[in-house]
Every structure is written in structure tokens, then in C-alpha cells.
Amino acid sequence: MPLTDLGADELVYFRPELPDPTGFDDFWRRTLAEARSRDGAIKVERVTAQHMLRTVEVEDVRFPGWNGEPVAAWLLRPRDAPGPLPVVITYIGYGGGRGLPTDHLLWSAAGYAQLVVDSRGQGHDTPDRGLGDGTQWVEGFMTRGIDSPDDYYYRRLITDCVRAVDAVAQLPGLDSRRIVVAGGSQGGGLALAVAGLAGDRVAAAMPDVPFLCHFRHATAICGEGPYQEIAKYLRWHSRHRVEPAFDTLDYFDGVHFARRATAPTLFSVALMDPVCPPSTVYAAFNRYAGADRTMTVWPFGDHGGGLGSNPPVQLDWLRERGLAPEL
């Protein structure tokens, strides 16, 4: 995969001017207040034996998300580890869900608790009941409800992800002062959104090759991946829908969340990424409000980023910031 975006020297200074959409903060305050007003009980079931794991405890968690609807998650933690444990909340890439607990053993092996959050409508365990008018979207999730910020799919999904932070405080054995939000691609974009919305309740954010950043630029230059759903929608529909569509997307753009995020952050970017172009990642990184921000660059990485080389970088970075589990 050749380089298809700006060069490394240009990316470092890429800071596009993207004005905040009107009422951005009020929109998200209202959204989260509505979700919390429909709060409900968190349900937890221990399912370790079903997965034949000897060193990890696994619980099937259902917490209230958008509209109070239950969101599925796995909670994994090292067996018999003294708490409270730092917890990594993991958000999932586009088109995927929480999968199986055996897909997510890294963080518990390193001594952390991990809450793996299902993606509504994308995973199998959290349905999305607000898919919007079927005449207003193309396949996938990028254009569902795109005619209005109130109806847009990512309003519901991002709300679920913030509510996962709320849920940690109610789960025993977890340290709500040491919450790390993390994920790759869509999961990275969601981690960035939560960092911007949850404020100082997030101790650190680790967005890898984050999606959902600088929608307009990404839609114009991407040759692969979900941003093409937006281009297809706008190709099929009247030119008069172009600006209204991007007006909606502005309320969900990682650049605007980055401006509000202050937790220490470790981004990663892959310079040969055709799905989340590096310029869109730097657009968010260079606007990140927190002073402690680090970018890991994978010069020859595609959308897989640093693959297996990335976790050791993350573990070391967390240790340096006092967020590692006690030995």
C-alpha cells in the first residue's frame, strides 16, 4: 500500500480550521442528560466456566445506554487480583461487536480489568432500535439518520460509550479514578469522543488509527472503507443534501471532541492507512486540548497500524503515567 496522503513533515502541522457546530456542547449535554434520566439497573452474570479460562474471571454485563436500552459488555479481570483495579474500557472497530471473551485477553493478562463494549446494531448482543427511515441511508451505519443530529446513528452509539464510563463506578473491584478509554479505528474515534465528553473521569485515552475524524476531508480522499458510504449517499441524492449532511456529521467529528479532551492521550497513526487517512488522525491530534499527548507513528502501517507491536508501547506509556496495576 503506497503513501496516498500528506507526507510525514506536513502531517505534523496539519491543523484544519473546523468551526464548532452551533450548540455543540448543549447538544451533548442534553443527549447525555436524557440518557441518564432513563437509567436502570446494571446486570452482571459470571460466565467464566463457560469459556474454560483458569486465570481470568469473565462477567457478562448489561448496562443502560441510549434511552436506557441495555448495552452488552464483557468484564474481564485477572483471577484473585486484589482490587480496585485500573480498567481499560475498549470500544470496537466498525462492523464488529464485543465478540467472545477469548478475543480480549491482553489487558487482564497485564493485570488490568477490561470492559469490552458491544456496538449497538453492529454486534450481535445489542440491537439498535433507532435505525431511522430506511429511505435515508445506504448500506452500513455512516448515513443512518444523517438528516438530523438528533436521529444520527452515532448519537446513540457515542452515548452508549459514555454510559460505559458511568457503569464502571457501579461495578465492584474497579478503580473509577483510573479509567482508560481505548480502541482502534471506529473504537479509537469512540474513545476520543468519550475523552471529550466524560472530562476528568477519564484518566487516559488511547485512540489507535482513529476513525470518525474530519469527515469532510476523509470522505473526499478515502478510496477504501466506511467513509465511502457517505460519498455513495451524496452521489445518489440531490446536491442540496451535501451541506446538511456535513452539518449533521460535525456534531460527531473527533476534531471537536479532541478540543474538549484533557486526559493524557496516546494516539497512533499508520502512514499507509487507506481507511483512516493519516491527515484525518492528525487533524484531531493537533487540536487535542490536553498537554500530555503522544503520537506513535507506524511509517509502513496500513489500517492495522502497528499490529502486535502496539500493545507494548501502550503498556509502557500507561506505566509511565502511574496507571499500571500494582504488582
* 3-state SS, residue 172: coil
Residue 148 known to be catalytic: no
From the candidates 128, 160, 250, 273, which is the catalytic residue? 273
Residue 147 neighbours by CB distance under 10 Å: 17
- 67-104 burial, b if ≥16 CB within 10 A, otherwise e? eebbbbbbbbbbeebeeebbbbbbbbbbebbbeebeeb
From the candidates 185, 208, 253, 268, which is the catalytic residue? 185
Rounded distance between C-alpha atoms, residue 53 and residue 71, angstroms? 24
**Helix (H), strand (E) at residue 33:** helix 24-37
From the candidates 214, 217, 256, 303, which is the catalytic residue? 303
Residue 303 known to be catalytic: yes
Residue 185 known to be catalytic: yes
Residue 260 neighbours by CB distance under 10 Å: 20
C-alpha cell at 208: 489507535
Residues carrying an active site annotation: 185, 273, 303
